[in-house]
Amino acid sequence: MVSTREVFGKTLVELGKDKKIVVLSADLASSTKLNYFKEKYPDRFIEMGISEQDIINVAAGLALVGYIPFVSTYSVFGCGRGWEQIRNCICLDNLNVKLVFTHAGLGVGGDGATHQMLEDIAIMRVIPNIKVMTPADDIEIREMIKFIRLDKGPAYVRLYRQDCKRIFSESYKFKINEYPILNEGKELIIFSCGDMVSTAVEIGKKINAAVVNVHTIKPLNRKQILKHVEKYSKIVTIEDHSVLGGLGSAILESISETPIPLLKIGVEDKFGQSCRSNEIDKLYDLYGLSKYKILNKINKWVNKL
């Protein structure tokens, strides 16, 4: 189990040799691991305080004069409070700003419903020009950050509070238009993203299902999605996000002209809730996202077809 936040922070330090990179924090440098960059390059670290709309505007201004701004805060604050500024000040002019927001999904735990961002993929992917991405492990976040640093235009990367199981080897190379197949299967294919990919892999092995890591939800490579599903008769999507507007909806949009049935598994149009930090697994079970609950849901669905 490795922290994607830790690897994000350390990768920024590695990339910080490029003097065009500036980092902006919203009073959460320790939690988002921007403190590593602050220690190494204090002259290119900007602490904006609890001011999410301002931080987006300042990042836009820095991009206009040639810098590559990386902004990090909690997803609920950055996507929620900063949405209008992301839309109008960054994406409308296609500015080169990188948004890496953390603490998405149910895993925030004790902070409860106000901080458990379950709607961010939906509200971010609807904005023109922006890329929407979420890594499955520490290796993928390292390669993803290197990619967006060189890529031009806005990007949103979704991270989590909890550690993730390592899936990829050190040799893994991130390719935005290629979705890795992690399991081969027989009749059923599972598309998953982010912190749920490791759970999907375990489930896939139990039920002989193919598993695909959809690390980039926008732009979604529709041709590759259709190529993946052409030899399967059933599709399941698994995500730590609302079933409305997230990965499942994006896949469903892509296969809408095919007759293949699809089951979306995620949070069912509900807010999250608080739990003790050592009871996160119970919270995922309560919301139907534990391995046992997901397996049960898939089996019931398959038996009805």
Q: In this predicted model, what pLDDT tens digit does every residue of 95-108 receive, in sequence order? A: 999 999 999 999 99
Instruction: In whole angstroms, give the CA distance from residue 40 to residue 45.
Output: 9
Dihedral-angle region of residue 59 (phi above 0 means left; psi in -120 to 50 means alpha; beta otherwise) = alpha
- Residue ranges of the domains in the chain? 4-158, 181-304
Domains 4-158 and 181-304 share a fold: yes
**Whole-number pLDDT of residue 111:** 87
Q: What letter would DSSP give residue 90?
A: I
* DSSP reduced 3-state for 245: coil
Rounded to whole angstroms, the Cα distance separating 179 from 144 reads: 13
Position 1 scores a pLDDT of: 83
**Top CATH class, 181-304:** alpha beta
Say what the pLDDT of residue 148 is: 98
Mean per-residue pLDDT of the chain: 96
- 278, pLDDT greater than 90: no
The pTM (predicted TM-score) of the whole model is: 0.96
Q: Please, what's the b/e burial string for 150-185 (b: 16 or more CB within 10 A of its CB; e: otherwise)?
A: eeebbbbbbbbbbbbeebbeeeeebebeebbebbeb
d(CA 172, CA 151): 18
Q: What is the pLDDT of residue 109?
A: 82
The mean pLDDT value for 109-118 works out to: 92
Q: Which CATH superfamily is domain 4-158 in?
A: Thiamin diphosphate (ThDP)-binding fold, Pyr/PP domains (3.40.50.970)
Number of neighbours of residue 292 by Cβ within 10 angstroms: 10
Task: Answer whether residue 277 shows pLDDT above 80.
Answer: no
Q: pLDDT tens digit string along 142-178? A: 999 999 999 999 999 999 999 999 999 999 999 999 9
Average pLDDT over residues 191-216: 97
Percentage of residues of the chain with pLDDT beyond 70: 100
